[in-house]
Structure 1
Amino acid sequence: MELFDNEVFKMFFYENRLKTFEGWPFDEDCACTPENMAKAGFIHTPSDNSPDIAMCFSCHKELEGWEPDDDPEKEHKSHSPSCYFINLKKNVEDMTMEEFLKLLKEKEDFILNKNMEDTINKFKEAAKVKRDEIVKSAMGEE
């Protein structure tokens, strides 16, 4: 990873996160406006089945099923209490270099842990399938 690659840092900035909320189902007269979502660190990551999926750019926590009265900051904090970005409560422009580097480290830690978790789960599933095959073979059920 190039340390200061523009793509790595793009979503660190509020304006870039806000741009992702095109087509967001909540706009006015509610708590989860695009502006509030972006301030809380979310980017809009809709799917065909769920037009209201939002993911934190830092901790990668995905939330969906938003209601108009949901407060994005409170929801983020309650579903991802260890997210450094939401706990820091600062715009990237106002962070010290130490805070910025810690944010980058935490973001990378979340990604690595998620990848490791996914790999472990795939391994466990493959092991279960293989075990079931061995048991069936041993019992003569092929």
Structure 2
Amino acid sequence: MEMFKEEAFKLYFFENRLETFEGWPFDEDCSCTPEKMARAGFIHTPTENSPDVAMCFFCLKELEGWEPEDDPEKEHKTHSPSCQFISLKKKVEDLSMEEIFRLQKERNKSIIKKNCNEAMSRLEEAAKQRRGQIIKTALGEE
């Protein structure tokens, strides 16, 4: 069961999230330092065109276009108010096994929802292209 694999729990811990911020474009003089980003649940997921993309490991919300004065915790709560990780009242280390299992269940729901939405987008795009091909064929344009 994936739940018991180390990887499934790795990002619950601050130090592991912090390690992802190598190359983060904001430093100590900013509000969105790597430390504050990691504390707010974010991991650094840069792309070639966007070096400041960060994603909550838990709810999978991606944010980019960070400004030096942005507060990571506030931005996270604003853009993903239902994220249960950012709403935690305890440190991960202080959670009971039952609480961890409940959290992981919610995280799995987020992962499934994101995967389903991505699959639906791909399906809709493929259907749109196929519809265009059918119309061209019907009009004798091919």
Task: Give the TM-score normalised by structure 2.
Answer: 0.93
CA displacement at 1:97 relative to structure 2: 2.2
**Which letter maps to 1:137?**
T
Of 19-28 and 32-41, deviating more is 19-28
The 3-state SS of whatever aligns with 1:43 is strand
Alpha-carbon spacing, 1:31–1:89, altered in 2? closer, same or farther (3 Å): farther
Instruction: Provide the alpha-carbon RMSD of the alignment.
Output: 1.3
Q: Are residues 30 and 99 of structure 1, via their aligned partners in 2, closer, same or farther at CA, if it must alter by over 3 Å?
A: same
Give, in whole Å, the separation in 2 of the partners of 1:139 and 1:24: 52
- Residue 96 of structure 1: how far off its partner (Å): 2.4
Q: Which consecutive residues of structure 2, in runs of 5 or more, have no partner in the other structure?
A: none
Look up the equivalent residue of 2:122 and give its one-letter code: K
Q: Counterpart in 1 of 2:21?
A: 21
Mapping 1:1-142, distance limit 5 Å: 1-142=1-142
Q: What TM-score, normalized to structure 1?
A: 0.93
The letter of the residue matching 1:77 is: K
Per-residue deviation at 1:113? 0.7
How many residue pairs match? The answer is 142
Percent identical among aligned pairs is: 65
Which residues of structure 1 form unaligned runs of 5+? none
Q: Can you list the C-alpha shifts for 1:102-127, whole angstroms capped at 9, x where unaligned?
A: 21111111111111111111111111
The CA distance in 2 between the partners of 1:95 and 1:105, in whole Å, is 14
